[in-house]
């Protein structure tokens, strides 16, 4: 029965089906708000679901000269790891007894795998524009991971060096959400900017950049493979905000998730796309500096 329960948690609730449905609906909110800001009507609520369903009904084209193994396996790897990370975080909120020692560290590692899979899958296609997107994605990952790790150290320090999500939540339930402290506020701002880059949202969508490199890392993907990439992004759009709200906002409730979603949409619609060199300077400069400041404040009890 334990195996059946774990499969249910991973595949149905709060895993793949639940996270993908919420993520696709959140993507519709993003598209609808963006359309309204541009004086357009926007799509109906079920448009993202229909788009993914249509992709799964289409033929998957195989680019000539690609490495088929990597090209087709990377979307599956990305979706599996994104779902696993989202499930671990959700289960920590639903029942902290399901956590394990170091689950926070494991989630941080799992959250990085989809980006690595994107690079490997894009490089396997053999397309020059995809390789350009891979180069941009690699530089972007190297730039934002440092401030994200530093920001993630803040809840660990403030919870008495706990590395279990359940223990971090218990500490916030007992003493209050970490965002009420100066270090928590700074760590939240840093995490919010990193989420924007991890999800490939404007202004950090340089690896995809449809108007510049025609989709970049995804340029050769079509049909079911592209549909899996869309589902991966939908799952991450749920799992990553829930992770931040769990370790900094005192839990993964609907208000916390909606707050993060609204802030990401605002950033997306008020900033133009940056160049990759600008993104590198931004994350290694002021963002990393803010993250380091948050760590120092947390260590001195602030």
Res 298: pLDDT: 95
pLDDT band at 147 (very low <50, low <70, confident <90, very high): very high
pLDDT classification of 221: cutoffs 50, 70, 90: very high
Distances in Å between the Cα of 258 and the Cα atoms of 48, 173, 252 are 19, 20, 10
Q: Check whether 96 has a pLDDT greater than 80.
A: no
Could you tell me which of 271, 276, 280, 132 has the C-alpha nearest to residue 202?
Answer: 271
| Span 98-138, pLDDT tens digits | 678 889 999 999 999 999 999 999 999 988 989 999 999 99
Categorize the per-residue pLDDT at 4 as very low, low, confident or very high, splitting at 50, 70 and 90.
confident
The C-alpha atoms of residue 205 and residue 141 are separated, in whole angstroms, by 12
Q: Give pLDDT, residue 167.
A: 92
Per-residue pLDDT at 209 exceeds 90? no
CA distances from residue 269 to 30, 40, 127, 242, 287 in whole angstroms, order as listed: 10, 14, 30, 22, 20
What average pLDDT does the segment 146-157 reach? 96
Region at 102 (left for phi over 0; alpha for psi -120 to 50; beta for the rest):
left
Would you say residue 64 has pLDDT above 90? no
What gap in Å lies between CA 175 and CA 283, rounded to an integer?
Answer: 31
- pLDDT for 268-283, tens place per residue? 999 999 999 999 999 9
**How far, in Å, CA of 186 to CA of 39, rounded?**
34
How far apart (Å, rounded) are the C-alpha atoms in residues 238 and 78?
15
Count of CB atoms situated within 10 Å of the CB of 287: 24
Three-state SS annotation for 204-271: CCCCCCHHHHCCHHHCCCCHHHHHHHHHHHHHHHHHHHHHHHHHHCCCCCHHHHHHHHHHHHHHHHHC
pLDDT band at 97 (very low <50, low <70, confident <90, very high): low
With contact defined as beta carbons under 8 Å apart, do 122 and 130 qualify?
Answer: yes
The per-residue pLDDT for 172 is 93
């Amino acid at each position: 029965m334990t195996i059946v329960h774990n499969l249910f948690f991973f595949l149905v609730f709060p895993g793949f089906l639940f996270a993908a449905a919420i993520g696709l609906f959140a993507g519709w909110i993003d598209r609808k708000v963006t359309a309204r800001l541009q004086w357009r009507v926007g799509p109906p609520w079920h448009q993202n679901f229909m788009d993914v369903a249509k992709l799964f009904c289409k033929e998957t084209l195989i680019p000539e000269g690609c490495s088929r193994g990597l090209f087709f396996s990377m979307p599956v790897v990305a979706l599996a790891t994104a779902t696993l990370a989202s499930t671990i975080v959700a289960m920590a909120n639903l029942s902290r007894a399901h956590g394990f020692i170091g689950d926070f560290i494991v989630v941080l590692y799992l959250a990085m795998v989809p980006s690595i899979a994107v690079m490997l899958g894009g490089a396997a296609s053999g397309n020059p524009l995809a390789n350009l997107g891979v180069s941009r994605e690699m530089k972007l990952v190297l730039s934002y991971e440092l401030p994200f790790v530093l920001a993630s150290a803040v809840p660990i320090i403030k919870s008495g060096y706990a590395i279990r999500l359940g223990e971090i939540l218990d500490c916030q339930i007992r003493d209050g959400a970490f965002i009420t402290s100066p270090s928590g506020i700074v760590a939240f701002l840093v995490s919010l900017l990193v989420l924007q880059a991890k999800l490939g949202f404007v202004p950090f969508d340089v690896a995809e950049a449809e108007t510049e490199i025609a989709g970049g890392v995804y340029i050769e993907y079509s049909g079911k493979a592209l549909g899996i990439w869309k589902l991966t992004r939908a799952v991450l759009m749920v799992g990553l905000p829930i992770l931040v709200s769990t370790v900094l906002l005192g839990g993964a409730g609907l208000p916390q998730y909606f707050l993060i979603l609204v802030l990401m949409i605002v950033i997306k619609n008020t900033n133009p796309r940056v160049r990759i060199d600008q993104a590198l300077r931004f994350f290694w400069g002021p963002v990393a500096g803010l993250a380091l400041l948050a760590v120092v404040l947390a260590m001195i009890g602030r």
